[in-house]
Structure 1
Amino acid sequence: MATAVKVDEDAKSRLEELQAEIRLRTGESVTQQELLSRLIDEAYDSRKEVIDSFRSSTLPLSEAEKEAMRQGRISSGVETDEDDIDDVLY
Protein backbone atom coordinates (compact mmCIF):
# COMPACT_ATOMS: atom_id res chain seq x y z
CA MET A 1 0.00 0.00 0.00
CA ALA A 2 1.54 3.29 -1.09
CA THR A 3 1.02 6.54 0.77
CA ALA A 4 1.68 9.97 -0.66
CA VAL A 5 4.31 12.08 1.08
CA LYS A 6 4.61 15.77 0.32
CA VAL A 7 8.14 17.16 -0.13
CA ASP A 8 9.24 20.63 -1.11
CA GLU A 9 10.56 21.37 -4.59
CA ASP A 10 14.20 21.38 -3.45
CA ALA A 11 13.91 17.91 -1.88
CA LYS A 12 12.09 16.59 -4.95
CA SER A 13 14.80 18.00 -7.20
CA ARG A 14 17.59 16.42 -5.12
CA LEU A 15 15.76 13.09 -5.11
CA GLU A 16 15.48 13.19 -8.90
CA GLU A 17 19.16 14.14 -9.17
CA LEU A 18 20.17 11.21 -6.96
CA GLN A 19 17.91 8.89 -8.95
CA ALA A 20 19.57 10.02 -12.20
CA GLU A 21 23.07 9.63 -10.75
CA ILE A 22 22.29 6.06 -9.65
CA ARG A 23 21.11 5.26 -13.20
CA LEU A 24 24.22 6.91 -14.69
CA ARG A 25 26.76 5.24 -12.40
CA THR A 26 25.18 1.78 -12.07
CA GLY A 27 23.11 1.41 -15.21
CA GLU A 28 20.19 0.44 -12.98
CA SER A 29 16.91 2.35 -12.96
CA VAL A 30 15.33 2.76 -9.56
CA THR A 31 11.99 4.29 -8.74
CA GLN A 32 11.76 7.17 -6.32
CA GLN A 33 9.83 4.85 -4.02
CA GLU A 34 12.71 2.32 -4.05
CA LEU A 35 15.21 5.09 -3.47
CA LEU A 36 13.26 6.58 -0.56
CA SER A 37 12.83 3.14 1.00
CA ARG A 38 16.59 2.55 0.80
CA LEU A 39 17.34 5.97 2.29
CA ILE A 40 14.89 5.34 5.13
CA ASP A 41 16.41 1.91 5.82
CA GLU A 42 19.88 3.44 6.02
CA ALA A 43 18.69 6.32 8.18
CA TYR A 44 16.92 3.87 10.49
CA ASP A 45 20.20 2.01 11.03
CA SER A 46 21.82 5.27 12.13
CA ARG A 47 18.76 6.78 13.78
CA LYS A 48 20.71 8.26 16.71
CA GLU A 49 22.54 10.58 14.30
CA VAL A 50 19.29 11.40 12.49
CA ILE A 51 17.53 12.21 15.77
CA ASP A 52 20.48 14.28 16.97
CA SER A 53 20.38 16.29 13.73
CA PHE A 54 16.99 17.67 14.81
CA ARG A 55 18.19 18.89 18.20
CA SER A 56 18.30 22.65 18.54
CA SER A 57 21.63 22.47 20.36
CA THR A 58 24.36 19.96 20.83
CA LEU A 59 26.33 18.87 23.84
CA PRO A 60 29.01 19.13 24.95
CA LEU A 61 29.38 22.85 24.51
CA SER A 62 32.19 24.18 22.39
CA GLU A 63 34.98 26.11 24.10
CA ALA A 64 33.60 29.35 22.65
CA GLU A 65 30.16 28.62 24.10
CA LYS A 66 31.67 27.81 27.51
CA GLU A 67 33.64 31.06 27.47
CA ALA A 68 30.52 33.04 26.53
CA MET A 69 28.73 31.56 29.53
CA ARG A 70 31.66 32.43 31.83
CA GLN A 71 31.69 36.02 30.60
CA GLY A 72 27.99 36.41 31.33
CA ARG A 73 28.37 35.50 35.00
CA ILE A 74 28.55 38.18 37.65
CA SER A 75 29.04 38.00 41.38
CA SER A 76 26.30 39.45 43.55
CA GLY A 77 28.65 39.55 46.51
CA VAL A 78 26.29 37.31 48.52
CA GLU A 79 27.43 33.84 49.50
CA THR A 80 24.79 31.19 48.87
CA ASP A 81 24.63 27.90 50.78
CA GLU A 82 22.48 24.78 50.38
CA ASP A 83 19.79 26.05 52.78
CA ASP A 84 19.38 29.21 50.68
CA ILE A 85 18.97 27.12 47.56
CA ASP A 86 16.44 24.84 49.29
CA ASP A 87 14.41 27.87 50.46
CA VAL A 88 14.25 29.23 46.90
CA LEU A 89 13.44 25.91 45.25
CA TYR A 90 10.99 24.50 47.76
Structure 2
Amino acid sequence: MANYGVAEAKNKFTHLLERVEDGERIVITRHGKPIVEIVKAAAAAPSKPVSAEAIAAALERLRILRESLPPADMPAADMIREMRDEGV
Protein backbone atom coordinates (compact mmCIF):
# COMPACT_ATOMS: atom_id res chain seq x y z
CA MET A 1 0.00 0.00 0.00
CA ALA A 2 1.46 3.34 -1.07
CA ASN A 3 0.89 6.70 0.62
CA TYR A 4 0.72 10.02 -1.25
CA GLY A 5 0.11 13.56 -0.06
CA VAL A 6 -2.82 15.40 -1.63
CA ALA A 7 -0.69 17.58 -3.91
CA GLU A 8 1.45 14.68 -5.12
CA ALA A 9 -1.65 12.49 -5.69
CA LYS A 10 -3.24 15.29 -7.71
CA ASN A 11 -0.18 15.53 -9.94
CA LYS A 12 0.08 11.75 -10.41
CA PHE A 13 -3.62 10.90 -10.47
CA THR A 14 -3.62 9.02 -13.79
CA HIS A 15 -0.58 6.99 -12.72
CA LEU A 16 -2.20 6.17 -9.38
CA LEU A 17 -5.36 4.98 -11.12
CA GLU A 18 -3.25 2.65 -13.26
CA ARG A 19 -1.65 1.22 -10.11
CA VAL A 20 -5.08 0.72 -8.53
CA GLU A 21 -6.26 -1.05 -11.69
CA ASP A 22 -3.33 -3.43 -11.19
CA GLY A 23 -4.66 -4.24 -7.70
CA GLU A 24 -2.59 -1.88 -5.53
CA ARG A 25 -4.20 0.09 -2.70
CA ILE A 26 -3.36 3.80 -2.54
CA VAL A 27 -3.77 6.01 0.55
CA ILE A 28 -4.07 9.78 0.16
CA THR A 29 -2.90 11.76 3.18
CA ARG A 30 -3.27 15.34 4.33
CA HIS A 31 -0.64 16.62 6.76
CA GLY A 32 0.50 13.01 7.21
CA LYS A 33 -2.94 11.72 8.23
CA PRO A 34 -4.78 9.21 6.02
CA ILE A 35 -7.83 10.80 4.38
CA VAL A 36 -8.93 8.30 1.75
CA GLU A 37 -7.96 4.89 0.44
CA ILE A 38 -8.39 4.15 -3.25
CA VAL A 39 -9.06 0.52 -4.12
CA LYS A 40 -10.13 -1.24 -7.28
CA ALA A 41 -13.91 -1.37 -7.63
CA ALA A 42 -15.50 -4.79 -7.45
CA ALA A 43 -17.12 -5.97 -10.63
CA ALA A 44 -20.85 -5.42 -10.39
CA ALA A 45 -23.10 -8.41 -10.80
CA PRO A 46 -25.39 -8.16 -13.80
CA SER A 47 -28.71 -6.70 -12.76
CA LYS A 48 -31.97 -8.54 -13.24
CA PRO A 49 -34.71 -6.95 -15.29
CA VAL A 50 -37.38 -5.28 -13.19
CA SER A 51 -40.95 -6.15 -14.01
CA ALA A 52 -43.54 -3.52 -14.82
CA GLU A 53 -45.55 -4.73 -11.81
CA ALA A 54 -42.61 -4.14 -9.46
CA ILE A 55 -42.12 -0.63 -10.86
CA ALA A 56 -45.83 0.14 -10.49
CA ALA A 57 -45.81 -1.11 -6.89
CA ALA A 58 -42.77 1.03 -6.04
CA LEU A 59 -44.38 4.10 -7.60
CA GLU A 60 -47.56 3.48 -5.61
CA ARG A 61 -45.55 3.26 -2.37
CA LEU A 62 -43.85 6.57 -3.26
CA ARG A 63 -47.23 8.18 -4.02
CA ILE A 64 -48.60 7.07 -0.63
CA LEU A 65 -45.47 8.35 1.15
CA ARG A 66 -45.60 11.69 -0.67
CA GLU A 67 -49.26 12.17 0.24
CA SER A 68 -48.53 11.42 3.90
CA LEU A 69 -45.97 14.25 4.16
CA PRO A 70 -47.03 17.72 5.26
CA PRO A 71 -46.91 20.44 2.60
CA ALA A 72 -43.73 22.54 2.47
CA ASP A 73 -43.88 26.03 3.99
CA MET A 74 -41.77 27.51 1.19
CA PRO A 75 -40.48 26.72 -2.29
CA ALA A 76 -37.61 24.22 -2.44
CA ALA A 77 -35.16 26.83 -3.76
CA ASP A 78 -35.83 29.08 -0.77
CA MET A 79 -35.49 26.13 1.61
CA ILE A 80 -32.13 25.15 0.11
CA ARG A 81 -30.91 28.75 0.19
CA GLU A 82 -31.91 29.04 3.87
CA MET A 83 -30.17 25.77 4.76
CA ARG A 84 -27.02 26.86 2.90
CA ASP A 85 -26.96 30.27 4.61
CA GLU A 86 -27.40 28.67 8.06
CA GLY A 87 -24.59 26.22 7.35
CA VAL A 88 -26.80 23.15 7.83
Give the alignment's TM-score, normalised by structure 1. 0.26
Structure possessing the higher radius of gyration over alpha carbons: 1
Taking CA–CA contacts closer than 8 Å with sequence separation of 6 or more, which of the two structures ends up with the larger relative contact order?
2
Give the alignment's TM-score, normalised by structure 2. 0.26
Higher strand share: 2
